[in-house]
Amino acid sequence: MRSKKTDRSLWLGVAGLGACLAMSVAIRRMRLANIRGEVVLITGGSRGLGLALAREFARLDCRIAICARDEAELERARSSLEKDGADVLAVPCDVSDNSQVQNLIDSVRSRFGRVDNLVNNAGVITVGPVENMTLQDFEAAMAVMFWGVVYPTLAVADEMRSRGTGRIATITSIGGKVSVPHLLPYCCAKFAAVGFCEGLRTELNRFGVKVITIAPGLTRTGSYRRAQFKGAHPDEALWFTLSATLPFLSMGAERAARQIVRAVRAGRPEKILSTQAVVLARANGVLPGVVPNILSIANRLLPAGTPDRDSMITGAQAEASKGTLFRAMTTLGRRAAERLNENFESGRGPQSKSGQESLMANLKGRRRGNMNNPSSKSDAGDGRQVDRIREPLEQSTEGPSHAEISARAYELWVEEGQPSDAAERNWLNAERELGMKRAAPETPRRSSTRAA
């Protein structure tokens, strides 16, 4: 039987430990910079984690600038933030285009005078085995998630260096620490961004500019609906969507945003989000040869590749074809998508075989609408290239082929002013598969309203 003296010593030890922990938390909070009134520029801030970050920074009375490629999406985000009382500037911008980035920075400086904090958040993701990826998939990932980090960072670095203060945070990924199967273009771009940020910190730290690398694990933002899936589309969408949605595998977006903002205020060199991501990153550092071997075993459980390198569907399209059980399992993800502006028309994506009839009907309706409204203009010009595919397809007795749907999907996206790299590739493939001998149409002007 323990003595009273032993019990007292035990309680004193527990109390001392609690006091140390409380003091540690208090010290960390004291080290957090007061960023009230500062200007925060967030790329890809119209939806998902970017929008959650904008809300969190606005909660701290920061002045917010957001950019994205989709103007309608950007306007919804601006309106949502302003309803919460935020001072917001929303600028359409494709961060893979340096001239648009320069215009973005000029707009922010014109409105707010400076950029105190830059958060590089814009991203795209294509899921599928490497045998289904094309060179263009890698180029598109690098354009947004590497050059889309370099351009805005260099645009504000001189300003921050001359002031002797500033913070540059880049949202990379655990995929920038450990290369994950079926996400190779994404991981390549994230690895490049991590290397850029780590090197940049060593050079800018002496000027008082803090460079913060954020590496989230799976985050429940609803962004799976915008992901593009190649190869065995439904199966790829299934594993990725569940991984990015189930609570024991993914972190809530708002929780992630709070941790990221805290890391930015503290000027931490690096912050890895979620216990699973921390364990994976640390294990890969200690056992660099073992973790890839384990992942290669996991890769055997993922869907096999297919001969088709060009077709893809979005997560929203895949979701539309799933049953009640799947919808029940992804409830949290769909709620996040609703909160974070990730919902959009699933019919806009290409090549979903189940959506072919509705897509064709939609296209015909749009063409009739444009013909009845001569003042309606689009990047597709006078629509002559539309006629090039429409007339022979309407005469077909065998129904539309995959290539035909690709071409029609591209027509739809162009009419909406939102052509994408994937749509352009599908157009060219459709041209070849349909055996059209005429010259390809002039590539439409790249709209700044493409989804970030």
**254 band by pLDDT with thresholds 50, 70 and 90:** very high
372 and 265 within one domain: no
Q: What is the mean pLDDT of the chain?
A: 80
Residue 101 sits in a domain whose CATH number is 3.40.50.720
**21 band by pLDDT with thresholds 50, 70 and 90:** low
Q: Is there a domain that residue 18 lies in?
A: no
136 and 232 within one domain: yes
How many Cα atoms are found within 13 Å in the side-chain-facing hemisphere of 310?
17
Q: Can you give the pLDDT at residue 109?
A: 97
357 and 211 within one domain: no
| Cα separation values, 120 from 199, 201, 214, Å | 16, 15, 10
Q: Can you give the pLDDT at residue 362?
A: 42
Q: Is there a domain that residue 182 lies in?
A: yes
Domain boundary among 254, 269, 295: 295
116 and 236 within one domain: yes
Q: Which domain holds residue 391?
A: 351-452
Q: Is there a domain that residue 19 lies in?
A: no
195 and 112 within one domain: yes
CB 231 within 8 A of CB 305: yes
436 and 290 within one domain: no
368 and 279 within one domain: no
pLDDT at 393 over 60: no
pLDDT in tens, 34-68: 999 999 999 999 999 999 999 999 999 999 999 99
Query: What is the C-alpha to C-alpha distance for residues 451 and 68, in angstroms, rounded to an integer?
Result: 7
364 and 288 within one domain: no
| Cα separation values, 224 from 186, 333, 447, Å | 14, 8, 23
Q: What is the CA radius of gyration of the chain?
A: 24
Query: What is the C-alpha to C-alpha distance for residues 75 and 79, in angstroms, rounded to an integer?
Result: 6
364 and 258 within one domain: no
62 and 196 within one domain: yes
**Taking the CB of residue 408, how many other CB atoms lie within 10 A of it?**
26
Domain boundary among 261, 295, 329: 295
- Identify the active-site residue in 151, 186, 224, 410: 186
291 and 355 within one domain: no
376 and 261 within one domain: no
Q: Is there a domain that residue 59 lies in?
A: yes
Q: Is 186 a catalytic residue?
A: yes
**323 band by pLDDT with thresholds 50, 70 and 90:** confident
Q: Can you give the pLDDT at residue 15?
A: 60
Q: Is there a domain that residue 330 lies in?
A: no
Q: Could you give the angle at which helices 356-372 and 402-415 cross, rounded to 10 degrees?
A: 40
Q: Is there a domain that residue 305 lies in?
A: no
Q: Is there a domain that residue 404 lies in?
A: yes
The larger pLDDT score, comparing residue 179 to residue 320, is at 179
The alpha-helical segments, DSSP class H, found in 344-436 are 356-372, 384-394, 402-415, 421-433
Q: What angle do CA 37, 38, 40 make, to 5 degrees?
A: 130
CB 19 within 8 A of CB 94: no
- Return the closest-CA partner of residue 312 out of 424, 414, 399: 424
Encode burial over 313-337: b for 16+ CB neighbours within 10 A, e otherwise.
Answer: bbbbbbbebeeeebeeebeebbebb
Domain boundary among 295, 310, 343: 295
Q: Can you give the pLDDT at residue 394?
A: 43
**31 band by pLDDT with thresholds 50, 70 and 90:** confident
What's the structural domain count of the chain? 2
Q: Is there a domain that residue 327 lies in?
A: no
